[in-house]
């Protein structure tokens, strides 16, 4: 059995809440700045590919999820309480909820991928 308190506390990590959230001028990037003052820029295509909503998860399981989303933009974003963002994309997809802890983990993976 899943403990509801454990589940909810894993969604909210106060250290993962960014100080600033902004869209890039072309809406093809999301920039988050955490409390260490350093911004991290996410490409819209990376975030669309990383969506964990039920529809995208099922499409991955059925091996019909695209490997990329070239040219996609973030059309809008909405905060979800104080723990996440809901992103809307130019392909009409707007189901993705991105907890700040997930975005922080994606930023870490992105940085690790680009280290020499």
Assess contact for 41 and 30: CB atoms under 8 A: yes
Q: In angstroms, rounded to a whole number, what is the distance separating the alpha carbons of residues 86 and 104?
A: 15
> What values do phi and psi take at 66, rounded to 5?
-60, 150
**What pLDDT was estimated at residue 21?**
96
Q: Which CATH number fits domain 17-113: 3.40.50.11260, 3.30.2020.30, 3.30.930.10, 3.40.50.300?
A: 3.30.2020.30
**What pLDDT was estimated at residue 110?**
65
Q: Where are the domains of the chain?
A: 17-113
pTM for the model: 0.83
Q: What is the pLDDT along the chain (116 residues), one digit of tens a residue?
A: 333 333 344 556 788 899 999 999 999 999 999 888 889 999 999 999 999 999 999 999 999 999 999 999 999 999 999 899 999 999 999 999 999 999 999 998 765 554 44
């Amino acid at each position: 059995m899943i403990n509801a308190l454990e589940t909810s506390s894993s969604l909210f990590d106060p250290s993962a809440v960014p100080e600033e959230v902004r869209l890039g001028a072309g809406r093809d990037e999301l920039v988050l700045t955490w409390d260490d003052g350093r911004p991290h820029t996410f490409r819209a295509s990376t975030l669309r590919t990383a969506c964990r909503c039920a529809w995208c998860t099922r499409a991955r399981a059925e091996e019909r999820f695209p490997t990329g989303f070239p040219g996609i933009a973030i059309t809008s974003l909405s905060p979800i309480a104080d723990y996440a963002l809901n992103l809307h994309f130019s392909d009409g997809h707007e189901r993705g909820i991105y907890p700040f802890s997930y975005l922080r983990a994606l930023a870490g993976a992105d940085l690790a991928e680009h280290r020499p």
